Amino acid sequence: MRTLRTKVAVVGAGPAGLYLSHELRTHGVESVLVEWCSREHVERRVRAGLLEEGTVRLLRGSGLAGRLNRQGLVHDGFQLRFENTSQRISTVSLIGEPTYIYGQQEVVKDLLSARPPDDGSLYFDARDVQIVGITGNNPSVAFTVGGEQVVVEADFIAGCDGYHGVSRASIPAASLAFHSRRYPFDWIGLLVSAAPFASELVYSVHPRGFALASMRTPEVSRLYLQTDARDEQSNWPHERIWDELGQRLYLDESRTWERGAILEQVRVPLRATVAEPMQFGRLFLVGDAAHIFPPTAAKGLNVALEDASVLAHALIGWFRRGEVGPLEGYSATRLRAVWRAQDFSAWLTWLFHPVADATQFDHRRRIASLTRLAEAGSSAVAFADEYVGRSRRRPPSLSYIHELDGMEA
């Protein structure tokens, strides 16, 4: 058995764990990062692709955005389609901030490239990961790698290992409140080798269900289709998916649309979870280990990197200046932002997804809400504020409450 000593043990080498480790190292705080997947798997898994302005600022401020600046797609706004109309909403015109298309796996590659080669602080393919001693002053992470048992002793542990990881499960159930919601629909997602449907994202609300036309690069499209959560995957062959996308995107029959080769097809369950508090003893939960968002508003990656940034600065303050407050207040600080993002995500999910038992009253109310956004008034400004995440970077405003009041999730 090999025993290592470090200041912070980071469990999970997704974007949040890698970013946290990077920030700590940059400011002279040692860490060891443990990941149960292989490096190849971590670099290749396709996840979120929409980055908020605040996330891009974090990456640029940390010297991690060289490739993002060259290859990321800057979007001034998006298309909103409903009732056989297409409206453009420009977040730049409304509040002066764009969004960016840059895949999560690309962020991971950039973070891994920024690490010193073979410095012995990153372990992939870790098995039987366990976290112990979080209520004492010497917590540790034990795991097996290459047949050898390794124990990492640390001052603190950052749990960045996602919904199914060991970090949240290491907190006693009696000390953790877990809130969850499962929506009655899923998304079918396609990764397609074809030029994007449009130059910007297209959110389309149709009586048959929601559709989203996104992209990863100028040559690769990402397409999503709402389906009932109880519907069998076998009921959705490729031809039916393509036909439904055409209808729900209000595709003009005269227009040719390159379908392209399907590189990947996934089923995405829409759910929301929050674990609170986000810290227990010497263990801190970061990203998906603490919260899951429905993909409608693309908050998951962005909020996770915010978590990592806030925790990194709190830990740096503790080790370099002896500051206690930011570390003790981590959970309270982050939960305010998490619940705000959950609120907006839930509202947007309600707005975009018709359900089978919706009444005509529900339908007309939804159209009225969509129309208000398309009119570029105060409702659109409040929407853009939440959509690009600017609202989480400043003190709470009553405008969001006033403008979106009554739009139930």
State the catalytic residue, choosing from 19, 102, 183, 203: 203
CA angle 62, 300, 269 (to 5 degrees): 155
Choice among 75, 206, 291, 353 that is catalytic: 75
Is 295 annotated as catalytic?
Answer: yes
Tokens of 122: 């990153």
d(CA 406, CA 409): 9
Residue 294 a catalytic site member: no
3-state secondary structure the chain: CEEEECCEEEECCCHHHHHHHHHHHHCCCCEEEECCCCHHHHHHCCCCCEECHHHHHHHHHCCCCHHHHHHCEEECEEEEEECCEEEEEEHHHHHCCCEEECCHHHHHHHHHHCCCCCCCCEECCCEEEEEECCCCCCCEEEEEECCEEEEEECCEEEECCCCCCHHHHCCCHHHCEEEEEEEEEEEEEEEEECCCCCCCCEEEEECCEEEEEEEEECCEEEEEEEEECCCCHHHCCHHHHHHHHHHHCCCCCCCCCCCCEEEEEEEEEEEEEEEECCEECCEEECHHHCEECCHHHCCHHHHHHHHHHHHHHHHHHHHHHCCCHHHHCHHHHHHHHHHHHHHHHHHHHHHHCCCCCCCHHHHHHHHHHHHHHHCCCHHHHHHHHHHCCHHHHCCCCHHHHHHHCCCCC
Q: Is residue 19 among the annotated active site residues?
A: no
Are the C-beta atoms of 409 and 347 separated by less than 8 Å?
A: yes
Cis peptide before 277 (omega within 30 of 0): yes
Catalytic, 250? Answer: no
* Catalytic annotation, pick one of 22, 206, 291, 299: 299
Q: Taking the CA atoms of 301, 41, 242 and 194 in sequence, report the sign of the dihedral they define.
A: positive
**Which listed residue (15, 294, 295, 354) is catalytic?**
295
Asked if 196 is an active-site residue, the reply is: no
Residues with catalytic function: 75, 203, 295, 299, 387
